[in-house]
Chain A
Amino acid sequence: ETGVTQTPRHLVMGMTNKKSLKCEQHLGHNAMYWYKQSAKKPLELMFVYNFKEQTENNSVPSRFSPECPNSSHLFLHLHTLQPEDSALYLCASSQGTENTDGQYFGPGTRLTVL
């Protein structure tokens, strides 16, 4: 495996379900990110982890709960979501949080909340 992988690629869930998104990076990077991408809107940064420590939480509702057990893995736990949370959720990684080498993205999880 190379680059950044995400599972599942597609997820449909009801508002009362609990599910988790998984991201893994094979680049030896130290920083990992969760983004929300909605149609015709800029990428919305949700969470940032650097060396497994959360350094940013951009006022994300508590129904989204991140977990970073090590520098290579990142999870996003979902519970009691709303239909407006339907979007593409992208994971990214970078060497450091200064981002001067850019961020590397996974293919995303297309989430639909019914």
Chain B
Amino acid sequence: GQNIDQPTEMTATEGAIVQINCTYQTSGFNGLFWYQQHAGEAPTFLSYNVLDGLEEKGRFSSFLSRSKGYSYLLLKELQMKDSASYLCAVLDSNYQLIWGAGTKLIIKP
């Protein structure tokens, strides 16, 4: 079966750095997405990785290793507004999105 694993919850301190991991086992791979979802709001697109390596976008970076079935989202200089759930999703061989259950990130002052 297809599976996406990410931690259920993480806590970090304002101003610090946090890394949210995602491992996947899917039938084929056509890319990996990270979405941010604040409570009661729509998931919003953060990043898309299809090649190995690190992609940086401001305070957020996303890394992919296809051989290891592994990705992480790196958030730097954490702000209180970064408190949200972070969803990992893989595009499989049929171009269907397979979703993880999300990681709830709690930022403390």
Contact = CB atoms under 8 A, between A and B. Distances in A.
Interface residues of B, number: 24
B42 A45 contact: no
A90 interface: yes
A108 B45 CA distance: 16
Q: Top 8 A-B pairs ranked by shortest CB distance?
A: A105-B42, A42-B99, A43-B99, A98-B95, A107-B42, A102-B45, A105-B43, A42-B101
22 contacts: A40-B102, A42-B99, A42-B100, A42-B101, A42-B102, A43-B87, A43-B89, A45-B96, A45-B97, A90-B42, A90-B43, A99-B91, A99-B96, A100-B30, A100-B48, A100-B91, A102-B33, A102-B45, A104-B45, A105-B44, A106-B42, A107-B42
Interface of A: 4, 40-43, 45, 90, 97-100, 102-108, 110
